[in-house]
A and B are shown apart, each in its own frame.
Chain A
Amino acid sequence: MCLAVPMEVLNIDGNRAWVSAGGTKREVRLDVIDQRPHIGDYVIVHAGFAIHRIDQEMAKETLKMFEEMFSNEAPG
C-alpha cells in the first residue's frame, strides 16, 4: 500500500500538478511535498499526492556507489 512511483511533472497549477509515467497521466496534490517541484522534475507519487521530489544528484550518488564498489575489480 505504500506503493509510490516516480512520475514526471508536466504542469503545475497552484496546489496541484499534472504528472505522467509510462503513459499514465494523473493530477496530484502538492500539499505534502517539501520541495516544490518544477516542470520536468520527477516526484514520487502516493495516493494522489506528490510526497518527494527526486534530487537528480542524489539519484546519481547511488549509481556512483556501484562504480566505487566495483572499481577495484577487473572489468567483467
Chain B
Amino acid sequence: MKHLDEYRDRELAQRIIERIHASSKKGIRIMEVCGTHTVSIFRNGIRDVLPSNIALISGPGCPVCVTATEEIDKSIKLSREHDVIITTFGDLMRVPGSKSSLQKEKANGADIRVVYSVSDAIKIASNNPQKRVVFLGIGFETTAPTIAAAVLEAKSEGIKNFFVLVLHKLIPPAMEALLSGGDLKIDGFMCPGHVTSIIGASSYVPVTQRYHIPCVVAGFEPIDILQAIYMLVEQLEEGQAQVEIQYKRGVTFEGNKNAMAIMERVFDRCDTVWRGLGVISKSGFKLKVQYREFAAEDSFDLSIPKAKEHPGCMCGEILRGVVTPAECPLFRRTCNPGHPVGPCMVSSEGTCAAYYKYQA
C-alpha cells in the first residue's frame, strides 16, 4: 500500500541498522511515548537489532492504559442508569474498574455499544430520542478533535440527548511530568506521529529547551522507527537537543491548525488524573461553558466511592517506564490477556500485552 510499503524495505532497514551501530557510542535511553510505537517496535523485532548501549523504554502513550480507575468507575455508574446508552471505543470494555468492568456490566444487561467513530454515537443518539446517549471520550490529541467536532455537530443539529464524559489526556504535559518526576532517566524522546499531526512538532520545543533532551517525531513503520532512532543517536552523540521530524508525510512543525482551533472552541484545559502518573497540571480537557449541555458530569450524578486499585498491579510504574512487565510478580501468572489484572494487559497497545505477545 502506498505510503506504507516504502517504509518496510528490508535492505534499507539493514543499512540504517548498520549506521546506528557505527554511530552509537554512548549508553542512551530512548522513550517511545506512544503505545502504537511500542507495538511496532515489538512486532518488527527492533530491540533485537539495536546495539546493547541503546535502551528503548515504553512510555505512557496508551490512552486506555492511562485511564484512571475512578474514570472507569464513573463510566460504570453511568451505564447503570436505566435510560442511558453508553457508546465507547472497544478497547475500554475490558479495563477493570474497582469492582467491575464495562464488559461485565454489558453482560448484566447494560446497553453499552462499541463504536468505531464518535459519529456513530451521534447517529445512535438521533435514532434513540427517548434515551440519553453518553460517549466515553478517551484518547490523546489525535482523538480529541474528532470529539470536539461531534460536540459542534450536536450543538448545530440541536441534539439534546448526546453527552460526553470527557477523559482526554494531553501528551506534552505528561512528558514534562515524567522528566520532572526524577525517578526516570531518559536521554531522548521518540514522539508520537499522529498526536503530532494535530499539535505540530513545535509543541515539543519547550521540553527540549527546558530539559535539554532531543525529540524526534516518528512514523510507525519499521524504517520510520529505525530512522528516528538514528536521528536521536546523531543528536545525542553530538550533544544536541532539537526537535526533528522523521515522519514528514504525516507531521508538520505547526500542526493541524483547524483541528487545534476546533479543540480550543470546545474545550478548556484542566488538571486531570492519569493512572500511574497522578494528577498532571493542565493535561486534560473539559467542555467550555457554551457546551456544558453536553457534559456528562453536569447531567448525571457521578459521585463514586474512592477507587480501589488492584493490589500488586504495577501498571503505574510500567506507564512511567521505571519497571518492565517481567518485574511485576503477576505478569504471566495471574495476569495475562485472557485475564487482565491491569489496563496495561488489556489494551493491545499496553506495554504488558506487547511483552506478553512478543517476548518469549
Interface residues of A (CB under 8 A from B): 1-6, 8, 21-22, 29, 31-34, 42, 44, 46-49, 51-52, 54-55, 58-59, 61-63, 65-66, 69-70, 73, 76
State A68–B149 Cα separation when bound (angstroms): 41
Checking B2, B35, B118, B197 against A51 with a beta-carbon cut-off of 8 angstroms, the contacting residue is B197
State A65–B249 Cα separation when bound (angstroms): 13
Task: Known A1-B89, A47-B118, A51-B197; judge A33-B146 contact (CB<8 A).
Answer: no
Q: Which residues of B sit under 8 angstroms from A49, Cβ to Cβ?
A: 117, 145-146, 149
Contact indicator B149/A62 (Cβ below 8 Å) = no
State A42–B12 Cα separation when bound (angstroms): 24
Task: Known A2-B36, A6-B2, A42-B2; judge A62-B192 contact (CB<8 A).
Answer: no
Stretch at the interface among B49-57, B76-84, B256-264: B256-264
A31 to chain B, nearest CB (A): 4
Q: Which residues of A sit under 8 angstroms from B19, Cβ to Cβ?
A: 69
Is B63 on the interface with A (CB-CB < 8 A)? yes
State A6–B219 Cα separation when bound (angstroms): 12
Contact indicator B63/A1 (Cβ below 8 Å) = yes
Q: Which residues of A sit under 8 angstroms from B64, Cβ to Cβ?
A: 1
Is B345 on the interface with A (CB-CB < 8 A)? no
State A62–B4 Cα separation when bound (angstroms): 13
Contact indicator B248/A62 (Cβ below 8 Å) = yes
State A70–B11 Cα separation when bound (angstroms): 12
| Closest partner residue, chain A, to B260 (CB atom) | A34
Other contacts beyond A47-B116, A59-B248: 14, CB < 8 A = A1-B91, A1-B138, A1-B140, A2-B195, A6-B2, A6-B249, A8-B2, A29-B149, A33-B259, A34-B256, A46-B194, A47-B117, A66-B12, A69-B16
Task: Known A49-B117, A52-B250; judge A2-B34 contact (CB<8 A).
Answer: yes
Contact indicator A51/B91 (Cβ below 8 Å) = no
Checking B12, B120, B249, B256 against A48 with a beta-carbon cut-off of 8 angstroms, the contacting residue is B120
Q: Which residues of A sit under 8 angstroms from B118, Cβ to Cβ?
A: 47-48
Q: Write out, one digit per residue, whether chain B residues 234-259 have a CB within 8 A of any chain A CB (1) or not (0).
A: 00000000000011111110001111
B133 to chain A, nearest CB (A): 16
Is B71 on the interface with A (CB-CB < 8 A)? no
Is B15 on the interface with A (CB-CB < 8 A)? yes
Chain B, interface residues (CB within 8 Å), range: 35 or more
Q: Which residues of B sit under 8 angstroms from A31, Cβ to Cβ?
A: 149, 152-153, 262
Is B139 on the interface with A (CB-CB < 8 A)? yes
Contact indicator B256/A32 (Cβ below 8 Å) = yes
State A6–B198 Cα separation when bound (angstroms): 15
Contact indicator B1/A6 (Cβ below 8 Å) = yes
Interface residues of B in 141-164 (CB under 8 A from A): 142-143, 145-146, 149, 152-153
Task: Known A51-B145, A54-B250; judge A1-B259 contact (CB<8 A).
Answer: no
A68 to chain B, nearest CB (A): 12
Contact indicator B197/A1 (Cβ below 8 Å) = no
Contact indicator B256/A52 (Cβ below 8 Å) = yes
Task: Known A32-B259, A51-B198; judge A4-B142 contact (CB<8 A).
Answer: yes
Q: Which residues of B sit under 8 angstroms from A46, Cβ to Cβ?
A: 142-143, 146, 194
Can you list 18 residue pairs at the A/B interface with Cβ under 8 Å? A1-B91, A2-B139, A6-B2, A22-B1, A29-B149, A32-B146, A32-B256, A34-B257, A42-B2, A44-B250, A47-B139, A47-B143, A51-B198, A52-B250, A66-B227, A69-B19, A69-B230, A73-B15
Task: Known A2-B63, A32-B256, A55-B249; judge A48-B146 contact (CB<8 A).
Answer: yes
Contact indicator A32/B258 (Cβ below 8 Å) = yes
Contact indicator B259/A34 (Cβ below 8 Å) = yes
Contact indicator A3/B249 (Cβ below 8 Å) = no
A45 to chain B, nearest CB (A): 10
Which of A32, A48, A54, A55 counts the most chain B CB atoms within 10 A? A32
| Closest partner residue, chain B, to A58 (CB atom) | B248
